[in-house]
Amino acid sequence: MSISIGIHDLSFATAEFVLPHTALAAHNGTAIGKYHVGIGQESMSVPAADEDIVTMGAAAAAPIIARHGTDLIRTVVLATESSIDQAKSAGVYVHSLLGLPSATRVVELKQACYGATAALQFAIGLVRRDPAQQVLVIASDVSKYELDSPGEATQGAASVAMLVGVDPALVRIGDTSGLFTADVMDFWRPNYRDAALVDGQESINAYLQAVEGVWKDYTEQGGYPLGEFAAFCYHQPFTKMAYKAHRHLVDYCGHDADKDDIARAVGQTTAYNTVIGNSYTASVYLGLAALLDQADDLTGRPIGFLSYGSGSVAEFFAGTVVAGYRDHLRTKANLEEIARRRPVDYAGYRDLHERSLPADGGDHSTPSQTSGPFRFAGLSGHKRIYEKR
């Protein structure tokens, strides 16, 4: 008899500041409809000078630790594409900030925005091998593009933490996956750059190619037919991409792409991404949080997950919502996390965007700006220093 494994708890954190797209439009003279309607974005989270993927990751995971403790957690997997070190996992810093036991494996995974799904599947494999353990999966990213570039309006920052184990309280993950990989230069960030490079149209085309590839493989592996899914959580570099991707999938399956049907399938998954912006690896799972927080009772219904990471790797899999899941949601906390952000004007955002850390190995402190529970205090001897507040 197969055991039930999946997402037992889910929590997220975002950054201290928020830049409304109205401020960006006023700066560059863009009609606001291009942002609100064209890409489906209203605002984007902007990290404070003393925030990064570690502080957000620890803040996302802390409520899970408070609720469940640490006794069963034997592994932490942190997925990111905005890593802070070429050798040391950002998860090791998170492990320390959270006070997790030393008898823990910690690793960082990377493959653009797909990394968190790889982490989730890795976690499921570990739990299947040893059902007595739980795995803490953290997806944490800061999406950053050059100022005045086409990608600037799609920036954002967030972290999602998921506790993976047997008999999950939220979503049971199915065994069947559709997989797809293609060597595409649609989005990448060389080691010598802080901001990513992106070919926007190529990235959209590569994403849609991946949609076809994962669905073809998923059906060949014996997955659910399209019509059985209650909703679909897509990677959202911008929220209109979820609509575009689902329309493409429906067309590919030979169905009529009815506008209302597409809105029903993906609309509720976009609420948090619309105001947070692109969170790279966390994006799909922010979509899940938004869906569970808003939808009518989904008990027993399968949800489709389509995770895409540029370069490119994608996966499609199903998760079934568990009876009683609403008793375990963090809806109030999620809404408060978004509402607590402080507005920043364009000049303030620009200053934060252009901040860089000295590379001389000296002592450099960061301004105390965040109101979050953890902060990146600065550098000393080429070492990053973190503090609990």
What tokens were used for 101? Answer: 């036991």
Q: Distance (Å, rounded) from C-alpha 4 to C-alpha 238?
A: 33
- Rounded distance between C-alpha atoms, residue 370 and residue 45, angstroms: 13
User: Band of the pLDDT at 1, cuts 50, 70, 90?
Assistant: low
Length of the chain equals 389
Task: Write out the DSSP string of 234-252.
Answer: E--SSHHHHHHHHHHHHHH
pLDDT per residue as tens digits for the range 190-236? 999 888 888 878 889 999 999 999 999 999 999 999 999 999 999 99
Average pLDDT over residues 322-332: 98
- Count of structural domains, the chain: 1
Kindly give the pairing relationship between strand 364-365 and strand 342-343: unpaired
145-196 pLDDT tens trace: 999 998 999 999 999 999 999 999 999 999 999 999 999 998 888 999 888 8
Rounded-to-integer distance, Cα 137 and Cα 160, Å: 8
Rounded Cα distance, 8 and 282, in Å: 17
Per-residue model confidence (pLDDT) at position 194: 83
The domain of 212 spans 5-388
Give me the chain's average pLDDT, please: 96
Task: Find the CATH number of the domain harbouring 327.
Answer: 3.40.47.10
Which residues are the active-site residues? 81, 113, 235
* pLDDT tens column, 352-372: 999 999 999 999 999 999 999
